[in-house]
A and B are shown apart, each in its own frame.
Chain A
Amino acid sequence: MDKNNRKAWLYLLPAILFLGVFMVYPLVDVFVYSFEEGYNSASQTFFGVGGYNYSYILHDPYFLQAVKNTFILVIITVPISTGLALLISVALNSIRPLRNLYQTVYFLPYVTNTLAVGLVFMILFKKTAYSDGLVNLLINWFGGQSVDFIDGPYWAKMFVLCFYTVWVVMPFKILILTGALASVNQDYYNAAKVDGTSRGRIFTRITLPMISPTIFYLVITGFIGAFKAYSDAVALFGTDLNAAGMNTIVGYVYDMLYGNSGGYPSYASAAAIVLFAIVLTITCINLLISKKHVHY
């Protein structure tokens, strides 16, 4: 190792130390826990080593429900939020008057606290003694039947959760995408215009490829973020998510550690590792797909 190399390592040491202690070690620890059967954090003892924790959670209906919920959430919200954000950004990019105002309005959800937003959604969707919520008022107005979005059928609850998630994650995406769109050289558009390119073709053949790295970044972080969803569900359906049938994987992990049924760190670890495996797989697939469609 030459001198420069030694110096580099020296400078990196503090970061490596902290990352090691607070990131790598816990990760490894979780992995170890997930194979220790019947681990008790008070006595620090366990019965044996094996795959029982995995077998348990994979047969736990609550976990399976959480996995199902999480996947539905991811599959619905990531494409919709990214697509909508793209649409809005393109629109924002092509208007001139009041652009800053719109940008601010679209960005508001981002700086608003999750629980405060949850409250707003309660007003919109929750049935109380006085009203059925704003959305139901609208439905009634159009002649429909009231739907209980918070304690009602599964699809209604899932709709609210997806709606909420899309609404919360979109501002950040809009912000990033408007930035990306603005940085595309105007000459490309002018060149395309002179060549007689239609608007649709300009969008698909020029705009999209030009901002593809940004879209890719948003999709990856969107997937990861949606897989880690938890607080949104709590804000809407309260802490007992299992009872509401709206738990997510991270919610399940939390419940196993601290919830009503808490005190099962081994199960929690196994669930966390399963989540990790899922996210890793999806991200790898994303990377493979991106090789073909992202132009740096």
Chain B
Amino acid sequence: MKVVLQNLTKKFPNRNKGVRSDVIAVNDFNIEIPDGQLIGLLGPSGCGKSTALNLLSGLLKPTSGKIFFGEDDVTDLPAENRGVGLVFQNYALYPHLTVRQNIMFPLENLKGAAKLSKAQMQEKALEAAKLVQIHELMDRKPSELSGGQQQRVALARAIVIRPDLLLLDEPLSNLDARLRLQTREELRRIQHETGITTIFVTHDQEEAMSISDMIIVMKEGVIQQVGRPQDVYDSPVNLFVAKFLGTPPINVFSGEVKDGGLWIGGDKICSVKLEGSRAVWVGIRPEGFDLDENGALSCALAGVEVMGRDITVISNNAMSDSGAIRSIISAENRVDTSSDTVRFNVKPYKLFLFDKETEERIYCEIG
């Protein structure tokens, strides 16, 4: 089922005394989410991701705008009639019920024609449990499960009714690093197997990038960019998106465009096709550097981290806006650590220019 949001806006009254203006948690969302995909809703804490999710689930009513599930307008439909599956950040498993009872709970709510017999419920619950591989723990209480297992139970409870839309609120944030890696693969697999349109909220860009078919990057209630993870990474529309995606993060320099060239400090990095002269932000991905004795960009060498498969060169430049510069180069290179300075050439397709004021991307030919 595809999901369409039209001018969706949610305002909350401001809690600070004396401030009249509302807090706009979700600001004018216009987006069409295609059927059967895994969507990552990505943004820093407090940017309105969870609010957006709650609007979709029906737990919150939008201030204005419309939500369509398929062709149906569900804006005024209460949560209980939307038939979405929702997994909470803390899982919200009923502690007094066993795993089986937890998974069966949504089935027992079905009314009318959809009503199931006890045996059918058992069967469906088992089926969902098998899908998330917890069918051997059916008679345990949630408190007797590990965090990862609880997460699976919550997932099983959400998909047991075969919803058309599955919503996950920070699904991996309560798991340890190893489990998180494993669970995100699981999530991907389950989504593939069921084909349910799935939207998950996360503040972890790596998580979103790794498993999503499409990511939506948010900042302060506003959608910044929508697209396939690789596309968004390769072509960010503004400095925020560029900074938010990628580990290690993008290196940002204060630069200047003049006489058809891009300058960082006293170094001319490359030529750009841009009229006039102006101050710009220059974003260079860590993998966008090539070590070269005669390279254009000169930096003060601070250290080298050898990771085996590649090398991270840490250096400083007076024009850097993001602290130490981390550049990842192939392990075949040899870095002369006795030297004070290190010089790089920059790969033009890994370099982005942004307006100094608006921080919007400046599209031009770089080379």
Chain A positions within 8 Å of B, measured between CB atoms, are 185, 187-188, 190-198, 201, 205-206, 209-210, 212, 295
Contacts and interface: CB of A to CB of B under 8 A. Distances in A.
B96 interface: yes
Interface string B78-90: 1111111110101
Interface string B256-274: 0000000000000000000
Given A190-B59, A295-B95, A295-B96, A196 B83 contact: yes
Contact of A190 (B78, B92, B109): B92
Interface string B106-125: 10111000000000000000
A198 B109 contact: yes
Contacts of B92: 185, 187-188, 190-191
Name the interface size band of chain B. 20 to 34
A201 B83 CA distance: 17
Given A195-B105, A195-B109, A198-B109, 19 more contacts: A187-B88, A187-B90, A187-B92, A188-B92, A190-B59, A191-B86, A191-B88, A191-B92, A192-B105, A193-B59, A193-B79, A194-B57, A194-B58, A194-B82, A194-B85, A196-B80, A201-B109, A205-B105, A212-B96
B79 A194 contact: yes
User: Which one of A188, A191, A205 has the highest number of Cβ atoms from chain B below 10 Å of its Cβ?
Assistant: A191
* 3 pairs of A and B residues whose beta carbons are closest in the complex: A295-B96, A195-B106, A187-B92
A264 to B, nearest CB: 51
Nearest to B54: A190
B344 interface: no
A197 B109 contact: yes
Contacts of B157: 195
B240 interface: no
A282 B300 CA distance: 82
Nearest to B83: A196
A209 B353 CA distance: 59
Contacts of B161: 195
Contact of B106 (A185, A196, A206): A196
Nearest to B160: A195
A190 B105 contact: no
Interface of B: 57-59, 78-86, 88, 90, 92, 94-96, 105-106, 108-110, 157, 161
B261 to A, nearest CB: 56
A180 B119 CA distance: 36
B331 to A, nearest CB: 47
Nearest to B154: A191
13 contacts: A188-B94, A191-B92, A193-B79, A193-B80, A194-B80, A196-B79, A196-B80, A196-B81, A197-B80, A201-B109, A210-B95, A210-B96, A212-B96
A185 B108 CA distance: 22
Contacts of A193: 59, 78-80
A98 B88 CA distance: 31
Given A190-B59, A190-B88, A191-B88, A196 B109 contact: yes
Contacts of A212: 96
Nearest to A212: B96
A185 B80 CA distance: 19
A226 B106 CA distance: 41
A209 B96 contact: yes
A206 to B, nearest CB: 6
Contacts of B110: 196
A196 B78 CA distance: 9
Contacts of A195: 80, 105-106, 109, 157, 161
Nearest to B102: A191
Nearest to B95: A295
